[in-house]
Structure 1
């Protein structure tokens, strides 16, 4: 039993506009319906496919502001020229340079048109086959502890685990890494991004929710109302959603 990571959920004032930005950034397509949700995925994407890539879902909310960013996306590049071209293209699409105190580093920190931070990495061998999203990165107090939860939750494999950093990836070796980095500060009330997971084929939502609770999830303060997904919080209070199987 396990759940599958299907998407990074981003909050936005204008889901259609932000979805178009991320579609252009990733080379994917945005399929907004005008109902407040704009999925961003490759052409032909089938979210029930167990080998489907981790995608982006942009959701409109009345006030998406937050006081601290705990999760961001890292984009992969294949060469220094590719990195420079991608940064220039993203700036032309409406991204802005961001200074979060990173100093002189080989990667570039940007903010999308609604202020969500992300990084364009320099070429790294570890990310050569991830696709456009190299990693989903979570700031946390205890990387080892969070990896100890998310590894069994997703059935993912640990590739590197230290006291300050942990890296997981699907056992199939497909798609991005899920990374945890030690950072100061605690949880916030509201986050701009969270993970959405879905039970694997043949598994039931209720059974997976019960299993995740046994692994150490905590109650979530979020109240989504009458919806087909379940909102939980990981051991450090990061909300995530367990979607109903398709």
Structure 2
């Protein structure tokens, strides 16, 4: 048994408006499965497919108050492309933000609801990822996160150091999942989190038990009204175990 990363979930005060921003930013299609939920995926995409990690934006009344522990890195193909993309994103409503990055070759922006993201300088490793180069998770111990997520999913671990760990779909397509060591500690619920799915025919209860045995924990919320399971990784980051598909 195994899971795979299929989407990230963002909370938003206005899911439709934020969905329009990210749809324009990525060049993706925007849809909705119901009130308060906006879905984004590449045009013509057949879900789920490792060639892309989709985005679900879910309405939530509380505003963002702290730096997100999960963010997106966007890929560029040249210095000119990076400059053009930053300008286009600002035109859509993104704003520059200082998260202590100092003098770096990438640009840190925030979307209209304050969610931080990076527009990277061109890097060969991200040449074929699509518009999202990586989903990045802040953490205290990249090695432990690579251990847990490497066993939780069937993605391939590419690099593990004390400062960073990197994974990607075993099919060698789509964005990377990266764990970046930071001094910050988790505070409150993550407004952006990972959603994973088992494969067709897998037993959801058995998959939940397997993840718990690897170190996943119960975040301590009432889950009686939802058809999926909310767990937390070894550093307390919430994630959703969706139904097999």
| CA 1:224–1:90: 2 relative to 1, 3 Å | farther
Please say if 1:78 is aligned against 2:77. yes
Q: How much has 1:224 moved relative to structure 2?
A: 4.3
Q: Which residue of 2 aligns with 1:196?
A: 195
Aligned residue runs from structure 1 range 44-55, under 5 A: 44-49=44-49, 51-55=50-54
Q: How much has 1:33 moved relative to structure 2?
A: 4.9
Quote the RMSD (CA, aligned, Å). Answer: 1.3
Q: Which residue of 2 aligns with 1:241?
A: 240
Gaps of 5+ in 1: none
Calculate the TM-score normalised by the size of structure 2. Answer: 0.96
Q: How much has 1:48 moved relative to structure 2?
A: 3.7
Check the 8 A contact 1:139/1:181 in 2, yes or no: yes
Q: How much has 1:66 moved relative to structure 2?
A: 3.8
Check the 8 A contact 1:67/1:190 in 2, yes or no: no
| CA 1:160–1:210: 2 relative to 1, 3 Å | same
Q: How far, CA to CA, are the matches of 2:213 and 2:94 in structure 1? A: 41
Q: How much has 1:192 moved relative to structure 2?
A: 1.4
Aligned length: 245
Q: Which residue of 1 aligns with 2:98?
A: 99
Q: How far, CA to CA, are the matches of 2:63 and 2:230 in structure 1? A: 18
Q: How much has 1:97 moved relative to structure 2?
A: 0.6
Aligned residue runs from structure 1 range 141-152, under 5 A: 141-152=140-151
3-state SS of paired residue (1:4): strand
Q: Which residue of 2 aligns with 1:28?
A: 28
Question: Residues 146-189 of structure 1: CA distance to partner in whole angstroms, max 9, x if unpaired?
Answer: 01000111111111110111111111101111101111132222
Gaps of 5+ in 2: none
Q: How far, CA to CA, are the matches of 2:207 and 2:174 in structure 1? A: 22
